[in-house]
Amino acid sequence: MELDRYLSRIGYVGPREPGQQALRQLHRAHLFSIPFENLSVIWGEPIVLDDVAHYWKIVESRRGGFCYEQNGLFAWALREMGYQVEILSAAVWSALNPPPGYGPDFSHMLLKVTLQDDWIVDVGFGDSFLNPLLLRPGLQQLEGSRAFRIDQVGPFYILMMRRFDGKWTERYRFTLEPRSVGAFSEMCQFHQTSPHSPFTQRRICSLARPDGRITLAGDDWIESQSDGMEVHRALEDEDEARQLLFEQFGINTPME
């Protein structure tokens, strides 16, 4: 794997010495360049927990991926640059569960980066924070009209997001126990095969922008603005879906 190729993929030209500002720039550059997508699941392409596979898919094939792929690749790149990185496991909150609550552990992968302080880093959760979050419970960290906060309840840390309407919602909870990549294998397989996985239900391809986000979700095209306004429209047909994937995300749809 070549670090220069990864940095070129995300358009990063900043300093390479580990530091808070460089970490912030890397985090944002990754999110603005690499889409969060589950197309491999929809297209029947197996996803394995392997850094080389993630590199070739995301960097050389110019694709995106979900949390295990994106945060796995980001962890590798940060370590290559001299950062101290630990992999953490999270359980994702869902209001759709009967009743609402947290899913299983290892359903999400995130990272902790240690500089003078500890930072939570996550480039694989879709619509979430753009800047690394200082791991300081109770601190509100603003991003435009949204805010994020990490609460602590016993051994758990809970990521909270203040939405555009001012309401705080839970996103996921995690502990600071370092995890190995292999510990995520069962949930990685679950997300690819289970009818209860959100990733087997419909295609998703979404990319952050400085002024919002663009998303292909099933047969809908969504343009989100940084103030919370969204424009939805239904796609005309699969030809338009293929065109959007190529023109907006640089992704070629495989031939049937």
Q: Is 67 a catalytic residue?
A: yes
Q: Is 127 a catalytic residue?
A: no
Alpha-carbon distance 108 to 122, whole Å?
Answer: 10
Catalytic pick from 30, 108, 188, 191? 108
Q: Are the C-beta atoms of residues 90 and 173 closer than 8 Å to each other?
A: yes
Q: Which residues of 225-249 are buried (b: 16+ CB within 10 A; e: fewer)?
A: ebeeeeeeeeeeeeeebeebbeeeb
Long-range contacts at 235-242 (CB < 8 A, ≥ 24 apart): 241/216
DSSP state of 127: S
In 3D, which of 201, 203, 183, 217 has the Cα closest to residue 104? 183
Catalytic pick from 27, 30, 54, 67? 67
Q: CA-CA distances (angstroms) from residue 4 to 15, 30, 35, 81, 102?
A: 13, 14, 20, 11, 38
Catalytic pick from 30, 122, 188, 191? 122
Q: Is 27 a catalytic residue?
A: no
Tokens 């200082």 correspond to: 134
Catalytic residues: 67, 108, 122
